[in-house]
Amino acid sequence: MTIQMGLQIPNFSYGTGVENIFPSVVAQTREAEDAGFDSVFLMDHFYQLPMLGSLNEPMLEAYTTLAALAGATTRIQLGTLVTGITYRNPALLAKIITTLDVVSAGRAILGTGAGWFEAEHTAYGFEYGTFTDRFERLTEALALIAPMIRGEEAALQGKWYRADSAFTEPRYRGDIPVMLGGSGERKTFRLAARYADHLNIMAPFSELKAKREVLARRCEEIDRDPATLQTSALVIVNVDETASAPEGMEEVAVFGSAPQIAEQLKKRVFDAGIDSVIVNLPLHGHTPGLITEVGKAIHEVLPHRVIPEWTRTALPEV
């Protein structure tokens, strides 16, 4: 798995009837594919997050939607950023992700983390537990999932999960890339060093460089080459030359024209040693052409710019 530039779709509120929601998601994903984005991610939530809107705004179930997007696209990688491990039995999650890999012809990414949205757990009847509980569950889950997505039988008699000779067939690839999301240096970073291909570091811009250095040490502690664990940052983008990030958002969001946004990402993300960026545009909804405009600008500042073979020879003009 290689991610240079990903798109997260964080909301499905487009001011339209329900019949237009999924077509709008397809249109955004296809535009991202044509514009050189190599991956599209959905949030794995059942309600909209409070910082993005009201709880009762539209929210599609992630894996059902990703499977449908697999049939509507041909090249772009598909995953969640990220699945709370508390929402699904991990053996079932391994089955879901290997099935998504089959129906997408090898384009699935397993994104997961410990989970955090307590109100959602309470409403749907999922056990939330303590911070320690959730990381114990994530640790056990990864130990079970890792062999299953490699085609091995897995058995586990843990505190939280039990499985006996669990396996997944069919599989499209010998392995499926794993992305963890989080910022915890003691727990998340150690799990990423052990199990992950990619870590989405959820931290303010000013902390990214230090976080990257700690992650490298976590890899070295288990004799892993840090270069084999790719990193990204999730950044909120607002294409508006007249606006600036509101108070409290300056460390996670960039505002301005598309070239200005790209330059800020270079200075605040790539120059901090982060390999790649995943952007979302929650203030824009579905605005045709905007994903292309942003993608073209970001491509120009990627630290290891490689235009995927499947994109157009020259990125489209806007």
Candidate from 42-51, 162-171, 225-234, 303-312 with smallest mean pLDDT: 303-312
pLDDT higher than threshold 50 for residue 312: no
Residue 118 known to be catalytic? yes
What pLDDT was estimated at residue 301? Answer: 93
User: Mean pLDDT of all residues in the chain?
Assistant: 93
Q: 245 falls in which pLDDT band (50, 70, 90)?
A: confident
What pLDDT was estimated at residue 244? Answer: 81
**Burial (CB count <10 Å: 0-12, 13-18, 19+), residue 25:** buried
Q: Which domains does the chain have, with CATH numbers?
A: 5-299 (3.20.20.30)
Q: How many CB atoms lie within 10 A of CB 186?
A: 10
One of 45, 198, 286, 299 is an active-site residue; which one?
45
Q: How many CB atoms lie within 10 A of CB 71?
A: 10
Residue 45 known to be catalytic? yes
- Residue range 76-84: mean pLDDT, rounded: 97
What pLDDT was estimated at residue 51? Answer: 85
- Residue range 178-191: mean pLDDT, rounded: 96
Question: pLDDT digits over 269-305, tens only?
Answer: 999 999 999 999 999 989 999 999 999 999 999 987 6
The C-alpha atoms of residue 113 and residue 93 are separated, in whole angstroms, by 12
**Which pairs from 213-218 meet CB under 8 Å and 24+ separation?**
213/273, 214/185, 214/189, 215/185, 215/189, 218/185, 218/189, 218/190, 218/192, 218/193
Question: pLDDT digits over 34-53, tens only?
Answer: 999 999 999 999 999 988 88
**Burial (CB count <10 Å: 0-12, 13-18, 19+), residue 83:** buried
- Residue range 219-245: mean pLDDT, rounded: 94
What pLDDT was estimated at residue 300? Answer: 92
Q: 307 falls in which pLDDT band (50, 70, 90)?
A: low
What pLDDT was estimated at residue 155? Answer: 95
What pLDDT was estimated at residue 310? Answer: 43
- Residue range 218-226: mean pLDDT, rounded: 97
254 Cβ neighbours under 8 A, 6+ residues apart: 235, 236, 237, 238, 245, 260, 261, 264, 265, 268
Question: pLDDT digits over 103-158, tens only?
Answer: 999 999 999 999 999 999 999 999 999 999 999 999 999 999 999 999 999 999 99
One of 31, 57, 61, 118 is an active-site residue; which one?
118
pLDDT higher than threshold 80 for residue 308: no
